Structures are given as structure tokens and as C-alpha cells.
Amino acid sequence: MSRYQRITVLFIFFLFFFQSYVYAQYWKKSYYEGIYGLGASNLMSEVGSPNPELSGYIKGNFWLTPQTFRPVIYFGGRYMMNNRVGIKLNFALANLAAADIYGDYRGTNRITSTFIIELSGQCEYYLLEEKAKRNVYRLRSYKWYKNINIPIYFFIGIGESLYFSKTQVNERYSGIGNFADTFDRPEKYNHTTPVLPFGIGVRFRLNKVIRFGIEAGYRMTITDYLDEVEKINVETNKSWPDTYQFLLFTLNYKLKSGRSGLPRLRFR
């Protein structure tokens, strides 16, 4: 994807967000939230990868490596268009890591550390509407299950990531089967990539203005250099992009809206 195509896609996406914002002004109530969070990252790249022929299709193509989880710092803002649909702007700073010692290609002894800055926009859809409050007495009755309310939501979006990678390689290695790894660092490559985040989240009401959230998101990219290592299929002469994931724990603060409909930056 060329730089012009990327700019076009991002422009269309944020134009959609702007139109959604204007449309949302017709709602009598508007909800803004400031979001702060911490979490962990997981990198799926050539470094530290399993061998699909040995691990099976699922584990060979989708894996988590707790030993290489790294911290994520997250800031965001949410605008609830109604009780089911929200739009969110995200900014994240994270470190990604991988090591061959935790994969099936341990003989290569590669170690990767990547610092990444991600800016994205997302659209959320909530399966359940949040209730204003719970009734303790109803929780004790036979209809207690009707009073349980845990808003679960799905999200999808688009964004851009800026990354800086450093990989230590001790020796050259030829992969198993139809793959051959090229370990020479490219002299020049693009340090930005479009990302497609999607996933699932849940929120818990703590009080009138604060919600605690847990969110698990998958990030697809179009680059194969998050670990500075490119894996090429010898038969097709094509490479597969690297991906990464975030697990976030967030505090969501509701903000009061003024007469203009914009947040007044004060808690409700």
C-alpha cells in the first residue's frame, strides 16, 4: 500500500468519524469519557514463532508468549453516540518483544525488541446497554439474573503505527520446509505501518463516573519488519505481515457535557 493510498484510507475513516459526530448531536444526551490504562503486549513475528508443521495450524499461526509480554501505556477518549454505539480515539505507547528460545526455531537465538507508537480510531458496539444502577433486593430474589449487567462490546478500527526495532542475530539459519529466513537487516525500510485493530472488551461500573474496563485487541499490519526479519515463502516469493496484540486494563471517567454538546472536562 502506497503512502497516497494510506492517506486516502485514513481520510475516509476519520471523515466517517466526523459525520458520526455531527449525527450524534441530535441525541438529547451525549456521553464523553476520558480513558487511562496499562496493559501487556504480545508480538507475533518470525522471531519466536512456532513451526506449524510441529505445533498444528492454530498454535502455529496464533500464539501467546507470556515470557515476552511487555508493558503498554494507553490514553483515549470515547464518545457514546447512543446506548449501544460508541466511537473512540486511542493513543498507545508500547514495547514489543520476541525471542527464539520460546519458539520452535531455538537454534537461531534471535532476540527482538520493538518500541511502537500507535494512533487509531475505533467504533464499538455494545451487546448490552448499561443500567443506571442495581437493586440489591432484586439481586436476592429469584429474578436476580435480570439485574446482572456487564456491558460487553466488540470493536474495529483503523490507525497508524510508528515503530523502531532492534534484533540481535547470532547466526544465519535456513528454515524448515518451504521457508527461508533472510537475516540481513534491510538498509532502509518504512518505520510506519497502517494497523487494523479489532477485538472485544468489557466494562464494570464502579460508581457514577468511573468504569473499570478490560479489553483484548488484535492488531493486523502490512509490514514484516516489526522484528527486522522477513520470512519469505520460496514458492510464492511473498512474506506474511507481523501482528501484535494488546491486553488493556483501563479506568474510564465520564465527563459532563456543556450546552454546546462538548465535554466540560469535569466529572459528572
Going from the C-alpha of 193 to that of each of 151, 185, 223, 253, the distances in angstroms are 32, 18, 6, 31
Any idea which of 17-26, 89-98, 136-145, 176-185 has the lowest mean pLDDT? 176-185
Mean pLDDT of 70-97: 94
Establish if 267 belongs to a structural domain.
Answer: no
Q: Rounded to an integer, what is the distance from CA 169 to the centroid of its chain?
A: 28
Query: Long-range CB contacts (< 8 A, 24+ apart) of 53-58?
Result: 53/176, 53/177, 54/104, 55/104
- pLDDT of the residue at 179: 37
Cα angle 264-267-268, degrees, rounded to a multiple of 5: 100
Establish if 222 belongs to a structural domain.
Answer: yes
pLDDT at 202 over 50: yes
Establish if 44 belongs to a structural domain.
Answer: yes
Give the E-state strand segments of 102-241 in sequence order. 111-126, 152-168, 179-182, 192-205, 210-221, 230-233, 238-239
- pLDDT of the residue at 154: 96
- pLDDT of the residue at 180: 40
Mean pLDDT of 51-66: 73
Tally Cβ neighbours within 10 Å of residue 72: 23
- pLDDT of the residue at 26: 42
Any idea which of 122-126, 185-189, 200-204, 249-253 has the lowest mean pLDDT? 185-189
Domain count of the fold of the chain: 1
Which residues share a beta bridge with 243? Answer: 44, 220
pTM comes to: 0.76
Mean pLDDT of 78-97: 92
CATH number of the domain where residue 178 is located: 2.40.160.20
Establish if 226 belongs to a structural domain.
Answer: yes
d(CA 150, CA 145): 11
- pLDDT of the residue at 231: 67
pLDDT at 102 over 50: yes
Tally Cβ neighbours within 10 Å of residue 142: 7
Establish if 172 belongs to a structural domain.
Answer: yes
Residue-wise pLDDT for 10-45, tens only, equals 655 555 555 455 444 444 455 789 999 999 999 998
Query: Confidence band (pLDDT; 50, 70, 90) for 124?
Result: very high
Establish if 263 belongs to a structural domain.
Answer: no
**248 closest CA partner among 73, 69, 33:** 73
pLDDT at 234 over 50: no
What is the pLDDT of the chain when averaged over all its residues?
Answer: 77
pLDDT at 55 over 80: no
**100 closest CA partner among 63, 54, 47, 62:** 47
- pLDDT of the residue at 1: 59
Establish if 268 belongs to a structural domain.
Answer: no
- pLDDT of the residue at 29: 52
Cα angle 197-202-204, degrees, rounded to a multiple of 5: 145
Which domain range does residue 165 map to? 3-256
**Residue 206 corresponds to which amino acid?**
L
Q: Residues of the chain with pLDDT > 90: what percent?
A: 38
Query: Confidence band (pLDDT; 50, 70, 90) for 114?
Result: very high
Burial of 223 (0-12, 13-18, 19+ CB in 10 A): buried
- pLDDT of the residue at 86: 92
Establish if 40 belongs to a structural domain.
Answer: yes
More confident residue, 101 or 27: 101
